[in-house]
Structure 1
Amino acid sequence: MNMTRKLILFTVLGIAVGAMAGYLYYSCIGCVSGTCAITSNPLNSTLYGAFMGGLLVNTFVRPPKK
């Protein structure tokens, strides 16, 4: 498997898992008062989780050797 395809695959998986985790955080914990910028809205929480999931996965994927 090409390294670029592997990197894209892991990034997409990280984004998907992060988005699910962000939405689960909103639905289970969330923000009761509605004043929290990220967790008061399901869209914001899901997008933030997707962003953080993508970043987290990319920290563990090594770049190809030249």
Structure 2
Amino acid sequence: MTKKQYIYTGVGVVVGLIAGYAYYYFVGCATGTCAITSKPMNSTLYGGLMGGLLFNMFVTSPKKKENNE
């Protein structure tokens, strides 16, 4: 991976962490039976994972040079 790819993925993780915690804080789970949203750590980590995957989709990989012999 290039430096640009790491930066995009890192930004996506940070945005996802913030979004995951915000979802827990504002929506959450009142009964405590929800697997992801019942605890702030679970919701935050899940958000970070999803944010990293989402932002990683927009990273283009460098093209390989063809060897025409």
TM-score, L = length of structure 2: 0.90
Structure 2 residue matching 1:37: 3-state secondary structure: coil
Q: Which of structure 1's runs of 4+ aligned residues deviate more than 3 A?
A: none
Please identify the structure whose Cα radius of gyration is greater.
Answer: 2
State the shift of 1:60 in Å.
Answer: 1.1
How many residues align structurally? 64
Q: 1:10 aligns with which of 8, 11, 16?
A: 8
**5+ residue gaps, structure 1:** none
**5+ residue gaps, structure 2:** 65-69
Higher helix share: 1
TM-score, L = length of structure 1: 0.94
